[in-house]
């Protein structure tokens, strides 16, 4: 069932617009305040601005769907570029290995940083399973999250590539553990960019594939020590791995990243960002 919010404008086009292919669903900049389903019949969905999921609503995206984000600027979101921003709402995107959900650029020739991010700041469960995020500024941003035992949330089977700032950014709160993700080829060389960036929080980061992110695969911009053991860094040279991690050894006021022992071959498929307490995500919404 496809439930469309009364205040939300969704139009099915039979022709191409702004780089999208013929036959797509255009999502204009508005709020989703009622439960909404995006299914394969409307795919691809093209987001032309910041899409807020709020007021307790759930946006459910079904397997096989492609979501394309328009390249816009000065749109008032976390980053320039179209975004899905979950504030006191739910995002459930459940792909399958054979039919993943793809979040990507709407440009005919995509480039890292074309769109903003998927931003999670909500009160309700957020589930991302078997999804691919690419060509964003920041693939996934988890902002000031506090986990309490009530409802389950998870992000599993996640692949994040070609993002211009970070693959995953986690800012403040009680963060999730990061397990079984593939985060490759993110960052554009600016300080503190790359694969995973932790700011004012701690997380366990295990059984992931983290490599070819520039300049760092992992940035610990917090005072907390980080467990990052048993990851694949595309190397078995301890010194080489250490050079791709920013922590206490680069700035003494920061916590240290413990990455030994590390995997000697790529981590297996599956996993993702998991909430070990299987809790309700809550965020203290702040101005960016």
Count of CB atoms situated within 10 Å of the CB of 60: 18
Q: Is the pLDDT reported for residue 148 higher than 60?
A: no
What digits encode the pLDDT tens for the residues 40-78?
999 999 999 899 999 999 999 999 999 999 987 655 556
Q: Is the pLDDT reported for residue 267 higher than 70?
A: yes
Q: Please tell me what DSSP assigns to residue 232.
A: B
Contact predicate 140/127, CB 8 Å: no
Looking at the chain, list the stretches that DSSP marks H as alpha helix, in order from N- to C-terminal side. 238-242
What φ, ψ does residue 280 adopt, rounded to 5°? -80, 125
pLDDT at residue 75, as a whole number:
55
What digits encode the pLDDT tens for the residues 160-217?
999 999 999 998 877 767 888 899 999 988 888 999 999 998 888 999 999 999 999 9
Mean pLDDT value across residues 270-284: 37
Tell me the pTM: 0.83
pLDDT at residue 16, as a whole number:
35
**Where would I find the beta strands (DSSP E) of 108-189?**
115-120, 126-134, 136-149, 154-161, 166-173, 177-179, 182-184
Q: How, if at all, do strands 272-274 and 154-161 pair?
A: antiparallel
Q: How many residues appear in the chain?
A: 288
């Amino acid at each position: 069932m496809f439930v469309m919010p009364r205040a939300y404008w969704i139009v099915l086009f039979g022709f191409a617009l702004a780089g999208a292919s013929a036959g797509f669903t255009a999502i204009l900049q508005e709020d989703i305040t009622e439960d909404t389903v995006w299914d394969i019949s409307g795919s691809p969905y093209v987001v032309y601005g910041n899409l807020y999921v709020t007021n307790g609503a759930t946006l459910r995206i079904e397997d096989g769907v492609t979501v394309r984000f328009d390249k816009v600027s000065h749109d008032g979101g976390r980053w320039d570029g179209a975004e899905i921003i979950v504030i006191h709402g739910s995002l459930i995107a459940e792909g399958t290995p054979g039919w993943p959900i793809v979040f990507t650029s709407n440009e005919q020739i995509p480039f890292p940083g074309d769109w903003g991010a998927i931003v999670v700041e909500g009160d309700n469960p957020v589930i991302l399973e078997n999804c691919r995020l690419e060509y964003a500024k920041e693939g996934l941003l988890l902002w000031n999250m506090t986990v309490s035992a009530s409802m389950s949330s998870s992000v599993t089977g996640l692949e994040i590539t070609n993002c211009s700032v970070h693959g995953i950014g986690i800012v403040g709160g009680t963060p999730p553990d990061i397990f079984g993700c593939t985060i490759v080829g993110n960052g554009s060389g600016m300080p503190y960019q790359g694969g995973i960036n932790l700011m004012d929080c701690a997380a366990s980061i295990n059984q992931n594939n983290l490599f070819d992110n520039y300049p760092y695969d992992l940035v610990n911009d917090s005072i907390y020590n980080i467990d990052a053991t048993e990851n694949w860094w595309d190397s078995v040279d301890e010194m080489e791995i250490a050079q791709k991690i920013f922590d206490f050894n680069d700035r003494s006021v920061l916590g240290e990243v413990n990455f030994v022992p590390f995997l000697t071959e790529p981590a297996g498929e599956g996993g993702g960002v998991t909430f070990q307490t299987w809790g309700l995500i809550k965020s203290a919404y702040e101005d960016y």
